[in-house]
Each structure stands twice: as structure tokens, then as C-alpha cells.
Amino acid sequence: MADGNPTLGSLATTVPVQAVLFDIDGTLCDSDPLHHVAFQELLLEIGYNNGVPIDDEFFIKNIAGRSDVEAAQNLFPDWDLEKGLKFLEDKEAKYRSLAKERLEPVKGLGKVVQWVKDHGYKRAAVTNAPRINAELMISLLGLSDFFQAVIVGDECEQPKPAPYPYLKAIKELQVSAEHTFIFEDSPSGIRAGVAAGMPVVAVATRNPEKSLLEAGASLLIKDYEDPKLWAALEEIDREEAKLKKAGA
């Protein structure tokens, strides 16, 4: 994987595939810009950083993909945690109002959703977002009937980057890690998936590609129309066809 071109076989090792898991923020929808705007506006209101708006680099380093506790501690190391979490709650409310107007799916999402449906694989959304946000985004994207489970990090023993949310997902779906793969967009989420024993496809919507590969991604794609993804999915189809033929 050192050359940045992971092998296609890493997804095909999950054959026969039982389930596909998806993160939400940055994976189903390019929501980070909306989160960034929400943070920017509320931080400016309290005079954070001497009134200088936070930039993309700060957002990626301290906030993107983090649990609320981690983000609050990164933003407000001198604050009481409860106060920091209250700020995060206000930010989430601001984000939801923005999302209702401006949320867009990642390019090609409908195509991969149809592929999963056509194959009859089980599917779950696994996120560190609050449940109210997760369900809103899924609804806005028209995927409420697609997901059979929605797993929220704060409702698990620990959120991502710990493996518990992904382990809970496969338990709820009654599938095994060996026959499941994941779509993620953040180093934190990728580490969670790898720790849970599943290959992870990294969607490079916002985070630096190097950080996604270093976190252990099996395949790096630009979006769901990336030819590299479809080559990997075709490899799965070929391997599953061989299995069926052998079992016939």
C-alpha cells in the first residue's frame, strides 16, 4: 500500500459479501463545509481566535471526524467539558438549519446505493453525529428506507476511532466482519473500521489523501463515480459468480 494504490483484492476478500456499512458526514454527503460554516459563525459570535474565522486546516485538524467530546476538548481546552458540549449542541442546531437548505449527496451516491440494493446486501449507517443529525441527513438524502440500522457513536461504549460503533453495526445486522466492508471519509472513521476488522474504502471528499491511507484505507476513491471503485466492485461480482458456480 506504500505506493498509494491498494490492491483491488482487499475488498474481494469479503466475498461472499453480507453487508456494506457507510459513515454519513463526508461519506454520504459533503457536509463538512456546512459544519465549517456553522462552527465559524458561532465561534465568531463568542470572539474565538480574536475574531479571526477558523480555516480549513484548523477544521480538519481539530474538528472533522471527531466525537463531540474530542472536538469540545480541542476547541476549548480551558472550558468545563459541559460548557464545551453545550456549544457543540448549539452548533448542531445551526448545522441542521443549514443542511435543510443545502445538503448535497456525494457524487455517484445513488449509483452505489443501487448496487448494494441490487445485490441484496444488508446495510447500516455508522456515525459519530448525534442521532437527530444522522436521521435528518439520511432523510434529506432519501435513504430512510435504505438503511436497516443507524448506529450512533455516543450510544456505544466509545465512539470512533474506537471500533465499537462498527462492531455494534455488524452485531445488529447479524453479519460477520469477514464479509463486510465500509465506506468512510475521515482518518478517525477509517481507524475505527480497521480496528473492527473490516476493509475500508476511503472517500476523499475533504481530508488529505495521505492521512486516509496512513489510517489504513484499503482503497482510496474521489467519489462514487471513481473508476477504481467500480473496478473493485466488479472484482467482487466476479468472485461471487465463481463461488456460485463452484457451489452449483
The domain spans of the chain are: 9-30+105-247, 32-102
- How far is the C-alpha of 38 from the C-alpha of 100, rounded, in Å? 13
Give me the pLDDT at residue 65, please.
Answer: 79
Distances (CA, A) of 166 to 21, 119, 159, 191: 8, 21, 9, 11
Distance between CA 91 and CA 94 in Å, rounded? 5
Short-list 185, 181, 166, CA closest to 14:
181
Rounded Cα distance between 248 and 233, Å, is: 23
Give the model's pLDDT for residue 39.
Answer: 95
Could you name the CATH architecture of 9-30+105-247? 3-Layer(aba) Sandwich (3.40)
**Exposed, middle or buried: residue 85 (CB in 10 Å: 0-12, 13-18, 19+)?**
middle
Grid look-up 471503485 returns 229
Catalytic residues: 23, 25
The separation between CA 247 and the C-alpha centre of its own chain, rounded to angstroms, equals: 35
Are 181 and 198 within 8 A, CB to CB?
yes
Predicted local confidence at residue 1, as pLDDT:
36
Predicted local confidence at residue 190, as pLDDT: 97
Q: Give the pLDDT confidence score for residue 248 in this predicted structure.
A: 63
What's the average pLDDT block by block, 10 residues per block, for the chain (248 residues)? Answer: 46 97 96 92 95 92 88 96 96 95 96 98 96 97 98 96 98 98 96 97 94 96 98 96 88
